[in-house]
Amino acid sequence: MSAWYVMSALGFYAVDPVSANYVIGSPLFERVRIDVGQGRTLIVEALDNGPDHVYIQSVTWNGTPYTRTWLRHADLSAGGHLVFRMGPRPARDYGAARADRPPSFVPEAG
């Protein structure tokens, strides 16, 4: 199984090979524990996850609300606890702010 598929199943995936950023998506697992090296662990949980609850309602990173729709590789490789709250309909407020969008290589107009 390829690494990109596994990461996507965890709820995040690399969009481009250059940046060290991952875009957040819907996880397939309810809970995963990953040894990221040097005694550090990354735990990914998806609360209320299921076939009829595929939309992210909210995210927390190490217990703090996380509104961005992307993650930095450096944060994930340091270990921590990423928690998704899932629901039956898209959340209108999660990731809605301009600042929550992934960084772009192209300057924005305006």
The CATH number of the domain holding residue 45 is 3.30.2080.10
Does residue 66 lie within any of the structural domains?
yes
Give pLDDT, residue 1: 46
The one-letter code for the residue type at 83 is V
Q: How confident is the model at residue 108 (pLDDT cuts 50, 70, 90)?
A: low
Residue 18: per-residue pLDDT: 78
Is 103 a domain residue? Answer: no
Residue-wise pLDDT tens digits, 25-46: 999 999 999 999 999 999 999 9
Whether 106 maps to a domain, the answer reads: no
Number of domains, the chain: 1
SS3 label, residue 9: helix
Measured over the CA atoms of residue 53, residue 6, residue 44 and residue 24, the dihedral's sign is negative
Alpha-carbon Rg for the chain, nearest whole angstrom, is 14
pTM of the model: 0.86
- 64 vs 5 pLDDT, higher one: 64
Has residue 29 been placed in a domain?
A: yes
The verdict on residue 52 lying in a domain is: yes
| Burial class (CB within 10 angstroms; exposed 0-12, middle 13-18, buried 19+) of 38 | exposed
Cα 31–Cα 55–Cα 48 angle in degrees, nearest 5: 40
Q: Is the pLDDT of residue 101 over 50?
A: yes
pLDDT given at position 38: 95
User: Is the residue at 74 inside a domain?
Assistant: yes
Lowest-pLDDT choice from 27-41, 50-64, 76-90, 93-107:
93-107
Predicted confidence at residue 6, as pLDDT, reads: 55
Residue 50 domain boundaries:
3-94
The token duo for 61 is 């990173």
